Amino acid sequence: MTSDDRKKAAALAAVAYISSGMKLGLGTGSTAKHFVDAVGEKVKQGWDLVCVPTSEATRKQAESLGIRLTTLDETPVLDVTVDGADELDSELRLIKGGGGALLREKIVASSSRQMIVIADDSKKVATLGKYPLPVEVVPFGLKATGIKIDQALAWSGNKGPLIVRMRDGKPFVTDNGNVILDCALGHIHNPEKLAAALSSIPGVVEHGLFIGMASIAIIATENGVETLK
Ligand code: 5RP
């Protein structure tokens, strides 16, 4: 079973949590992509679903599958958001944003009654932080904001270089016109304290720590799918 097979297995297991008539948040990334495909299948079978995508990439995929889309302005409360993660721990604390969609992902998840995480077992960790923590930052004052992020890391007992995410030799630009600083921390000590410190910095738009948001994680392993609550 490849990693992509396991991602697909987790995505398909999440279909058990949705039903016709629901309003859904659609995540971003290679795992969420399988879930969006499954939603497309349900729509073809006649299910009445309306969805908010968490990125332009997901919006395009959903449109190509004939999935009816809405916005949070039209539909401010969703039933369920299903999304992937870069890391999750046993308390269902997540690192997200590897695909650069963390801001919309967090807004959509926080507008949903339930967030379900889907992942292959490589994403499950004892301590968050091996995966660099993405922080979405306004380009104006990037260096000054970076200094404040360093201070926030130190204050919360963390340390590690900040790397401007690049794509094709240029800074990666998010769907919201911002840039991403990836914080290579190794281990995140006190994720709650770090999350609060990062959120208090004016140039930080959002960070990739999702704490207290997911209520269910569906993890696919070689031996089948396990559910954490
Ligand atoms: C995008 C995300 C993704 O959910 C995360 O990067 C996981 O991606 P994948 O399913 O491709 O491993 O947070 O911003």
27 lines ligand 1 (CB under 6 A): yes
Q: Residue 142's pLDDT is what?
A: 97
Q: Which two tokens stand for residue 22?
A: 């629901």
How confident is the model over 58-111, as pLDDT tens digits?
999 999 999 999 999 999 999 999 999 999 999 999 999 999 999 999 999 999
Nearest CA to ligand 1 atom 8: 29
How confident is the model over 166-183, as pLDDT tens digits?
999 999 999 999 999 999
Share of the chain above pLDDT 70, in %: 100
Q: Rounded to two decimals, what is the model's pTM?
A: 0.97
Report how far ligand 1's centroid is from the alpha carbon of 102 (Å).
Answer: 9
SS3 of the chain: the string is CCHHHHHHHHHHHHHHHCCCCCEEEECCCHHHHHHHHHHHHHHHCCCCCEEEECCHHHHHHHHHCCCEECCCCCCCCEEEEEECCCEECCCCCEECCCCCCHHHHHHHHHCEEEEEEEEEHHHECCCCCCCCEEEEECCCCHHHHHHHHHHHHHHCCCCCCEEECEECCEECCCCCCCEEEEECCCCCCCHHHHHHHHHCCCCEEEECEECCCEEEEEEEECCEEEEEC
15 with 38: CB under 8 angstroms?
yes
The mean pLDDT value for 103-129 works out to 98
The mean pLDDT value for 2-20 works out to 97
Q: Residue 77's pLDDT is what?
A: 98
Nearest alpha-carbon partner for 174 in 120, 116, 117, 107: 107
70 lines ligand 1 (CB under 6 A): no
If you search the block for the tokens 């801001």, which residue do you land on? 103
The pLDDT mean for the chain works out to 97
Pocket-testing residue among 96, 105, 219, ligand 1, by greatest number of atoms within 8 A of Cβ: 96
83 lines ligand 1 (CB under 6 A): yes
The mean pLDDT value for 21-46 works out to 98
132 lines ligand 1 (CB under 6 A): no
Report how far ligand 1's centroid is from the alpha carbon of 24 (Å).
Answer: 18
- Residue 84 alpha carbon, nearest atom of ligand 1: 4
Instruction: Give the C-alpha distances (Å, rounded to integers) separating 214 from 12, 32, 182.
Output: 18, 15, 22
Pocket-testing residue among 4, 30, 95, 133, ligand 1, by greatest number of atoms within 8 A of Cβ: 30
Using CA of residue 102, residue 104, residue 107, residue 111, what is the dihedral sign?
A: negative
The question of whether 226 is a catalytic residue gets the answer no
